[in-house]
Structure 1
């Protein structure tokens, strides 16, 4: 069986592509660098991260991108002997404008170096590239309307102004021909995330609707002509949990169709798994996969209805390989372990090094936690509702402006951090910084005030999350007993629904290491290991 979610933790907007016996899923990474996660599978049951293709400054520079901006909704496809990746780099979130720029990169294989980006347009986000069987290529994206009146989309949500279609000329690398608004969406509104495919002479269009929250849905339509008109699916929505609050997989929407070599039908979608009592999805938007069937040239979930299932039949009898309960990361290689990312920065040598001090990850303290430019924060996804993380830190601050430690992080308004710094009276201390969703000011609180004085030498720091609760711990290196510090904090605020609430942000929770030095002296902090352990 396929057990959902197949990609746990922050892995939204899954675009799926099959090449022979190999399946690939590309997911959004927003402000986290390098851009786009690509996972691989041979059986649809077991998936492994194999590539983050947007990895150099010429491809992606997100310095200054606000929270929840950056890389939205990539589309991965294969045609003409190469892979094509289409993506948006969003430069603004709040207000009437998005400033969403769409690009295409290509590569002969997933593992190869991907090309420099080719600019396509900026009319809206969630672009997709469809390779027709006659050799022509078509580019679709939602159209963003900064006004309050709708032109081609839903009056209910005029900013989401329908799905645009235009031909892409690969020879000249530009859009050609007329721009057509081919689909206004359903009455649910907020139409986005378009993907086209063709079967039995029909062009099928799947879109995401209802926003990224609990009304999310995959909507389906079809036409004999790629330019429309498109008729709506008899059930309107192929996948949604919006009317079923009891379903395990909530916020279901935004995905793509794929067939096995034998013609079996599947469809990806994003989802969330809320925690009681506040229904906050602390693991962000995850990737799931549903078995489908065809009836009367329409696609339906194999289990019936529209509600996604946790377990669905796999095309093979492959055994599920569960991830290890504990991963002990060492920093003894010249590259980061593949699970880790950082924020926005295309010049990572400015914020960290794995070679300056052998055997450690050295973070160079730059701008403050929450900066949109140069922030030295290296972290991995939270993939479990209950987990423990540990790290070993060597750090000797000269001023209170120099800080390093362990953080449970979502964005600049939602984080908790156990940090080492200097206090004028107490000397070197361990203390807590907390920002539980204070928007727009981003003010921190200090649950243990000045903190606790700590001895010289390396310190071990730990965070233990159990559903909605977070407890920090510390101990001097070599000590046996861990010392709890501070109160139990609200881990549930490190979620899409925390702070501003639903639609205020939509990425995911990370756990990792940080350093900053607002004196401008770039004080280094050395981390010699990092542990992530699933609990219970």
Structure 2
């Protein structure tokens, strides 16, 4: 049987939390400022995964308006106990500077599709929370502790506190149970219980360390008591690429593990696949998988004999390659958006889009990159090379109204080809970019505006081949033709996200946007959206 090529969840899918219910596996991943919150994928063979739900889909559960870039939903934890699913998540309201405002919540559901409950507030002492269900019926909440006073690091260890579900709150004392290793930045805790070779139970603690950059790692520790003391794994890190800069899977860390019905053990972890000599991860932080084994010393080790993540892994299933490379043409006649699409921050979707007359109508709101209310509907970039295309029917009155096609990472990192107008009302195409080299958010204009007739829809397209991005357009009855120069697509990456290392956490998207800076919510209608993966020989580590 052929080996699976990592990652299993390509594109922006970081901080995986995995659980098994019978023969079904589920992975929850972070969504940050993208709405609805938390992605949950399903598989029955660990090779083929399908997005089944984003459970945080209403205002009572999540409202991220005003959350800065790379804030919002961090590191969910998905578990199954007492006949229902439990989902823990953080909504981060501030991350830069000495303070972090990180609020932790719990929602539950009888099935993975829902209905998911309104949230129960847990605490705000730190992020990356998880919930452990002990076999005596007690439940334990763990999260990293944030200390704004600490120097030079603000990560104060892993906190443990009991959770009482009848009272819907945390109870009893808080204990700091683990301070991590000399790699520092300990976060992402998950607790487990497993019998050792002597039949006595061990409590195991899996954490993330080293930040989210190239020193990231999965640390493992254990104790005979849930509240410690915890001893660290003999190798410290069960998964890391930090000392192997040429390994195709970099930034490996933030893991969780699961056992199959036949007793095999797998670790899922986030990873990044850098491209170009500048080592930029355009696809963001993805989810990979490694087979592991329990040895006679009661420690978990990667089965292939080193803690460096393997590109190729033996899993029960075989990936459907045809599905991975399939073109997707999205139509808008069904009355609901395809699950591939997300938008930014707001739960009040009726203010930014509607499906009317077989089209996606975007209501122009704030500027592209707004932290509050912008009309931008997009899907993840999941391949190093692809084509995208749409058709927009839009008649702006002046330069403050615009709608079109965008390749987007964050407010400071995007490319945008928009139908807009000159101050005299004459329609034109305007190519805009915002790049890391302009951290004040000022736009660049890589090409002169192109006047277009004041009637008929306009086709807009782009191609990305590795780090090369080219926009195109076509008027009615015409073939697509290029507009502007070839642009550097690699800026749509964590490494160029407008923050220092460990500060940008999402991934590249491509989609449709509309703005009306006059405040009149002028609509733009999009007929379809096309995403076509392309096999390009220059993509070394394509799945």
Aligned residue number for residue 192 of structure 1: 187
In the alignment, structure 1 residue 163 sits paired with structure 2 residue 158: yes
| 8 A contact 1:67–1:411 mirrored in 2 | yes
In the alignment, structure 1 residue 334 sits paired with structure 2 residue 332: no
| 8 A contact 2:208–2:216 mirrored in 1 | yes
Aligned equivalents of 1:442, 1:424: Cα separation in 2: 23
Q: Deviations over 1:7-41 (max 9, x none)?
A: 00000000000000000000000000000000000
In the alignment, structure 1 residue 249 sits paired with structure 2 residue 218: no
| 8 A contact 1:124–1:141 mirrored in 2 | yes
Aligned residue number for residue 355 of structure 2: 354
In the alignment, structure 1 residue 174 sits paired with structure 2 residue 169: yes
Aligned residue number for residue 152 of structure 1: none
Aligned residue number for residue 125 of structure 1: 127
**Residue-pair matches, total:** 526
- Give secondary structure in 1 for the equivalent of 2:460: strand
Match of 2:100 among 98, 110, 116: 98
Q: Deviations over 1:135-164 (max 9, x none)?
A: 110000000111134xxxxxxx53111000
Match of 1:493 among 486, 491, 494: 491
Aligned equivalents of 2:129, 2:35: Cα separation in 1: 20
TM-score under structure 1 normalisation?
0.96
Aligned equivalents of 2:220, 2:243: Cα separation in 1: 18
Q: Aligned-pair distance for 1:276?
A: 1.6
- Give secondary structure in 2 for the equivalent of 1:256: strand
TM-score under structure 2 normalisation?
0.95
Aligned residue number for residue 153 of structure 1: none
Aligned residue number for residue 297 of structure 1: 298
Q: Deviations over 1:181-211 (max 9, x none)?
A: 0000010000000001111100000000000
Aligned equivalents of 1:528, 1:317: Cα separation in 2: 36
Specify every segment of 5 or more residues in structure 1 that has no aligned partner in the other structure, as ranges.
Answer: 150-156
Aligned residue number for residue 383 of structure 2: 384
Aligned residue number for residue 262 of structure 1: 262
- Give secondary structure in 2 for the equivalent of 1:255: strand
Specify every segment of 5 or more residues in structure 2 that has no aligned partner in the other structure, as ranges.
Answer: 196-200, 536-543
Shift in alpha-carbon separation, 1:359–1:319, aligned structure 2, 3 A: closer
| 8 A contact 2:446–2:485 mirrored in 1 | yes
| 8 A contact 2:203–2:222 mirrored in 1 | yes
Q: Aligned-pair distance for 1:255?
A: 1.3
Q: Which moved more, 1:481-490 or 1:42-51?
A: 481-490
Shift in alpha-carbon separation, 1:368–1:497, aligned structure 2, 3 A: same
Shift in alpha-carbon separation, 1:343–1:484, aligned structure 2, 3 A: same
Q: Deviations over 1:441-488 (max 9, x none)?
A: 111111113334346201100011111111100001332x21100111
| 8 A contact 1:414–1:438 mirrored in 2 | no
Shift in alpha-carbon separation, 1:362–1:133, aligned structure 2, 3 A: same
Q: Which moved more, 1:8-17 or 1:449-458?
A: 449-458
| 8 A contact 1:43–1:318 mirrored in 2 | no
Match of 2:57 among 13, 35, 55: 55
Aligned residue number for residue 540 of structure 2: none
Aligned residue number for residue 154 of structure 1: none
Paired residues for 1:68-467 under 5 Å: 68-149=70-151, 158-200=153-195, 201-295=201-295, 296-316=297-317, 322-355=323-356, 358-424=357-423, 427-438=426-437, 440-454=439-453, 456-467=455-466
Q: Deviations over 1:489-531 (max 9, x none)?
A: 1111010001445323111110000000000011100000000
Q: Which moved more, 1:304-313 or 1:23-32?
A: 304-313
Q: Aligned-pair distance for 1:316?
A: 4.9
Hey, which bits of structure 1, 4+ residues long, moved more than 4 A?
316-321
| 8 A contact 1:2–1:44 mirrored in 2 | no
| 8 A contact 2:396–2:425 mirrored in 1 | no
Shift in alpha-carbon separation, 1:460–1:319, aligned structure 2, 3 A: closer
Q: Aligned-pair distance for 1:102?
A: 0.2
